[in-house]
Amino acid sequence: MARGRLIAVEGIDGAGKSTQTTRLAEALRRAGLDVVITREPTGGPHGQEIRRRAAAGERLPADRELELFLRDRDEHIRGVIGPALAAGRTVVTDRYFLSTAAYQGARLGDPEALLRRCEARFPIPDLALVLVAPTEVGLRRVGLRGEAREAFEEEASLGDVARAFASLERPWIVRVDATGSPGEVHRRLVDAVAARLGLPVASVPGAGD
Ligand code: ADP
Ligand code: MG
C-alpha cells in the first residue's frame, strides 16, 4: 500500500490553524480521501503537560521545554501519525515540527538549526501550510477565542515567532495569506493543496464566509 500523505497546518497563535485544519480535513474527505485529523501538542502525557503549563503561565527553561515538545512528537508519530501513513491515510495535523523550529527556535536563538534537527528525527511533511497573518491580527483572534491568554501569546515574543516562521525555507513549505474571511483563507489553502499535491480537492462551505 502507498504511504499516505502528511499535511501540516502551521502559523502563529490566532492565525486560524484550528479553524482551517477542520475545514481542510472536511474538503479532503469530500474528495474521497481517508483523513485523520490530529494536533500538537497531543493529548498524551507530554502534550498535556505542555498545555497545563501554558494555561498556568508557567515557563520551563528553554531546553526542558524543547525536550517536552520533541517527546510529545515521538509519541504522536509512534501512536497516530506513523500507523495512519502506513495504512495509506491522509493525515492533517494542527501544528507539527515547524512550530517547534519557530517557537523554541526563536527562544533558543537558531530556528534553522532546530528545523534541521527535527527533519532528522521526524517524518518530513508532504506539505506544510504556513498561515501568515500580522501578529496583531493573531492576537485579536486569540482574544475572540475567549480563552485565557498564554505566556507565549504576548505580542513581543509572537513577533519573534513570526519572524522565525518567515525565515524558514523548504521545498515542502507553502505560505498562505491568512487575512480575510475564514472562507477566503480556506479557498487559498484548498488551491495550494490541489496545486502542490495534485489532489482533486474542492472548497467546502462553512460558517463565517
Ligand atoms: P489558531 O488555531 O491558529 O490559534 P483559531 O482557528 O483558533 O486559530 O482561530 C482563532 C479565533 O479566530 C477563533 O475564534 C476563530 O473562530 C477566529 N478566526 C479564525 N479564522 C478567522 C478569520 N479568517 N477571520 C476572522 N476570525 C477568524
Ligand atoms: Mg489552534
In a domain, 207, yes or no: no
Residue 129's SS3 state is: strand
Q: From the CA of 1, how far away is ligand 2's center (Å)?
A: 32
The answer to whether residue 90 is domain-embedded is: yes
Q: How far is the CA of 208 from the centre of ligand 1 (A)?
A: 10
Task: Specify the pLDDT at position 149.
Answer: 59
Name the residue with the closest Cα to ligand 1, atom 5. Answer: 16
**Amino acid of residue 156:** A
Report the candidate in 9, 66, 26 with the shortest Cα–Cα distance to residue 192: 9
Structural domain contains residue 209:
no
Kindly report the CATH number assigned to the domain that includes residue 121.
3.40.50.300
Q: What is the DSSP letter of 149?
A: P
Is the Cβ atom of 17 under 6 angstroms away from ligand 1?
A: yes
CB 195 within 8 A of CB 175: no
Ligand lying nearest the CA atom of residue 39: 2
| Per-residue pLDDT at 150 | 56
Residue 206 lies in a domain: no
Residue 96 lies in a domain: yes
Residues 165, 129: Cα–Cα separation, whole Å: 11
186 CA to middle of ligand 1, Å? 12
- For residue 205, tell me if it sits in a domain: no
Residue nearest atom 11 of ligand 1, based on CA coordinates? 141
Q: How many domains does the chain have?
A: 1
How much is the pLDDT for 20? 98
Q: Is 85 in the pocket of ligand 1 (CB under 6 A)?
A: no
What is the model's pLDDT at position 169?
98
pLDDT averaged over 10-residue windows placed end to end, the chain, 209 residues? 94 97 98 98 97 89 96 98 98 98 96 98 98 95 73 69 98 98 98 97 90
Instruction: For a ligand 1 pocket test, name from 22, 37, 40, 141 the mutation site with the most ligand atoms within 8 angstroms of its C-beta.
Output: 141
User: What's the pTM value of the predicted model, to 2 decimals?
Assistant: 0.96
The sign of the CA dihedral 107, 113, 119, 121 is negative
Residue-level pLDDT at 148: 59
Does residue 202 lie in a domain region? no
- Assess whether the C-beta atom of 14 lies below 6 angstroms from ligand 1: yes
Q: What is the pLDDT of residue 155?
A: 58
182 lines ligand 1 (CB under 6 A): yes
Instruction: Report the nearest atom of ligand 1 relative to the CA of 146.
Output: 14
Q: Tell me, in angstroms, the distance from the centre of ligand 1 to residue 3's CA.
A: 31
Note whether residue 208 is domain-resident. no
Tell me the residue range of the domain where 40 lies: 5-197
